[in-house]
Structures are given as structure tokens and as C-alpha cells.
Amino acid sequence: MSGKDLPSRRIAEELRRRIAAGEFTEDGKDGKLPSERKLAADHDAARNTVREAIRQLAEQGLVDTHHGKGVFVRRRRQLLRFGDRYSKRLREETGVSPYRAELAKQGLTPRVDCPSITRVSPPSDVAERLGLSETDSTVARRENWYYAVGEGEEFPVQIGITYIPWEIAEGSVLSYSADMGKGSLYARFEDLGHPIAASREEVSARMPDPDEAEGLSIPDGVPVLEILHTGIDDQGRPFEVTKFVIRADVGGLDYTVPVKD
């Protein structure tokens, strides 16, 4: 046995069963569960006990609650898979960014927002990867928000914060313009003598902090993937670090890496 026989668990278990059976989602139904007060009466339990059960389901990502409306079965969206983001061939042949291509597979269109470009001191993890001193150097900081638009809804997918050593970015569009022109970011780096040759990606997962949860409208019980990406040029020099934060309920990663002998 893996769980104790408590009222809240029993109620949660029963709701899980009914959700799996499609009781709330079949035909014309909108996925709405009975109200907390009704469930409490049905199970002869206190409303707080039902709330505890629903909290367990929400934590598990099975339902969403909406104040004033009700509790709804969360419909599973197929994950977007991001990989191969830097290939020059892709960049030149298809003319569309990998982000756009992946969204297109699911009938979605991207919207990217670049709310700020600033000049700052690098955070310590970024400075370390760029081989810079944390205090004696500055970097250009470009913040990008990625959204997906489709079927009358728009939702945020990921945030990317790119740090570029100031001595590289200085004078280039990288340091001041949201629009980076044909071929986008990595074409500009190539112009500047840093063609991307390798990418290091350090991947972690964690719960979003409250600001991220709000900004990315992340439902309860959904973690984020955090990727610390370092761009490395043909000389082995790191020239750019980007910190991605991806909603794990809408996005994942897909790497195909050759294995070295």
C-alpha cells in the first residue's frame, strides 16, 4: 500500500478515477467538477476536507481551479519540444526560427517580446561561464518573452535572458535594438567573428518563484525547466550566455548528441 486511508485521500482518489473515466469531459461537457459544497455533501465530509482533496489533484496537475467559476479538468496539451536551436543550415534554408517551426507543428504562432535591453554587471554564474570578472566587467542584457498564439488564446511559453560581453555587443544592434535583422541573433554573432560551433546546456528543474508563476501564468503544480545555455565559437571561446525558463507543462527539450569515441 502506498497511501493511507484518510478522507481527503479517498475523495481525491475517487475524483481521480472519475476524471480518468472521462466523466466530466465526455461529449458536450466542459470539464467542470461539482462544486466543493456539493462534493462535501455527497461525501458527508467538511468542505475543507474536499478542498484538501482538490488541492492534491491540483498539485498533481490534474485540475485547475478558477475563483468564481469552478474546478476544471486540465486538458493536456502536447509538449512543444525545443532542440537544434542553433543550426546555421536551418537558419538559412528554412528562414524560420526553430521556435516558430515547433509551434507551427501544433497550429500555433509565436509572438516574441523584447521588453528590455540594458547594460549590467553579470550575475556570478554568467560571469563564470563567460570568463569575466563579476565586478570589473559589464554585459548587454537582452530579455525576451516568448508566447504562443492559437485559437483565440495566447499563453506564455518561456523567458530567455541573454548576456553578451559588452566588448562584443558594443556598437552592434545586439546592444540596442530589439530587431536583429535577417538570421537573427546567431547571424549577428557570426558577423562579429563568433560563429556558433558548440552549445553547452546546463539543465535543471525547479518550481517557479512567485514572480515567474505570475508572469508566465503557470498553473499550480507545474515546474519550470531552467537552461543555462553557453554559446561557444569556433575558437572554443564562450561569447554569450542565455538563461531560459520554460513552463514545463507546455515545453520540453530534445537533444540529439553524437557520442564521442
Partner DNA sequence: AACCAGTACTGGTTCAAGCCAGTTGATGGA
Partner DNA sequence: TCCATCAACTGGCTTGAACCAGTACTGGTT
Where do contacts with its own copies occur on this chain (CB under 8 A)?
Answer: 2-3, 59-61, 79, 81, 84, 86-89, 196-207, 209-211, 214, 221-225, 248-249, 252-261
SS3 state at 176: coil
Report the residue number, 40 or 196, with the smaller CB distance to its own copies. Answer: 196
Task: Please tell me whether residue 38 binds DNA under the rule CB under 7 A.
Answer: yes
Report the residue number, 72 or 145, with the smaller CB distance to DNA. Answer: 72
All three cell numbers of 214, joined, read 505570475
Report the residue number, 64 or 249, with the smaller CB distance to its own copies. Answer: 249
Taking the complex as a whole, the smallest distance from the CB of residue 32 to DNA amounts, in Å, to: 8
Binder to DNA among 49, 144, 162, 230 (CB under 7 A)?
49
Across the strands, what pairs with 194?
none
The DSSP result for 192-226, as a single string, is TT--EEEEEEEEEEEPPPHHHHHHTTPPTT--EEE
199 binds, among DNA, its own copies, none (CB under 5 to 8 A by kind): its own copies
d(CA 180, CA 77): 31
Instruction: Say if strands 70-73 and 109-120 run parallel, antiparallel, or are unpaired.
Output: unpaired
Taking the complex as a whole, the smallest distance from the CB of residue 41 to its own copies amounts, in Å, to: 22
Task: Please tell me whether residue 213 binds DNA under the rule CB under 7 A.
Answer: no
Closest among 181, 201, 186, 176 to 239, alpha carbons compared? 186
Task: Please tell me whether residue 13 binds DNA under the rule CB under 7 A.
Answer: no
Residues across the chain: 261
Report the residue number, 40 or 233, with the smaller CB distance to its own copies. Answer: 233
All three cell numbers of 22, joined, read 472521462
Taking the complex as a whole, the smallest distance from the CB of residue 55 to its own copies amounts, in Å, to: 9
Task: Please tell me whether residue 219 binds DNA under the rule CB under 7 A.
Answer: no
Report the residue number, 47 or 100, with the smaller CB distance to DNA. Answer: 47
Query: Which long-range contacts does 2-11 make (Cβ < 8 Å, 24+ apart)?
Result: 7/43, 7/45, 7/49, 8/49, 8/50, 8/52, 8/53, 8/56, 9/53, 9/56, 10/43, 11/39, 11/43, 11/45, 11/49, 11/50, 11/53
Taking the complex as a whole, the smallest distance from the CB of residue 29 to its own copies amounts, in Å, to: 26
Q: How many other C-beta atoms can be found within 10 angstroms of the C-beta atom of residue 63?
A: 26
192 binds, among DNA, its own copies, none (CB under 5 to 8 A by kind): none
Instruction: Say if strands 196-206 and 224-233 run parallel, antiparallel, or are unpaired.
Output: antiparallel
Task: Please tell me whether residue 29 binds DNA under the rule CB under 7 A.
Answer: no
Taking the complex as a whole, the smallest distance from the CB of residue 206 to its own copies amounts, in Å, to: 6
Using CB under 7 A as the criterion, which residues of the chain lie in contact with DNA when the complex forms? 4, 6-9, 33, 35-38, 44-49, 51-52, 54, 65-71
